[in-house]
Amino acid sequence: MTDEQAVTGQTLPEDTIISTTKLFVGGLDWNIRGRQLNDEFSKFGVVKFARVKLREDGKSKGFGFVEFEKPEDAAKAQAEMNDKELNGRVIKVDFARESLERIKAREERAALEAAGETTPATDAE
């Protein structure tokens, strides 16, 4: 059992890690988009990106992700924003969990984009 499992009581798949800079934000108002999410979280530090996940019809799925440059900024945002009200809804903020496979694919896309071999993927996170 890992320290994380001992603290949370959760067992994560072996190929899953918990990010130190990327936050999951759930329970969002249906009208919130990435720009407002960025505005709300940027008071804690430099936000690399803020994205609200959308359905195919363009409507919000009610959750999103915010990634900070520094782990300490993400930790402060998580502690202060979890269970806070945003646009009339109580939001849940936790550190994002990602599979190693997804992380590797994102890094490969970024390397290709940096080399000019492909165009950036949209909403790939």
Residue 34's SS3 state is helix
Q: Is residue 1 over pLDDT 50?
A: no
Mark residue 94 as left, alpha or beta (left: phi above 0; alpha: psi -120 to 50; beta: remaining): beta
Q: Mean pLDDT over all residues of the chain?
A: 85
CA within 13 Å, CB half, 62: 5
Q: Span 67-74, mean pLDDT? A: 97
Structure tokens at 89: 């809804």
Q: What percent of the chain has pLDDT over 70?
A: 82
pLDDT of residue 81: 97
The predicted model gives 62-89 an average pLDDT of 97
Check if the beta carbon of residue 12 is closer than 8 Å to that of residue 5. yes
- Residue 111's pLDDT band, with cuts at 50, 70 and 90, is confident
Write the pLDDT tens digit of every residue in 91-100: 999 999 987 8
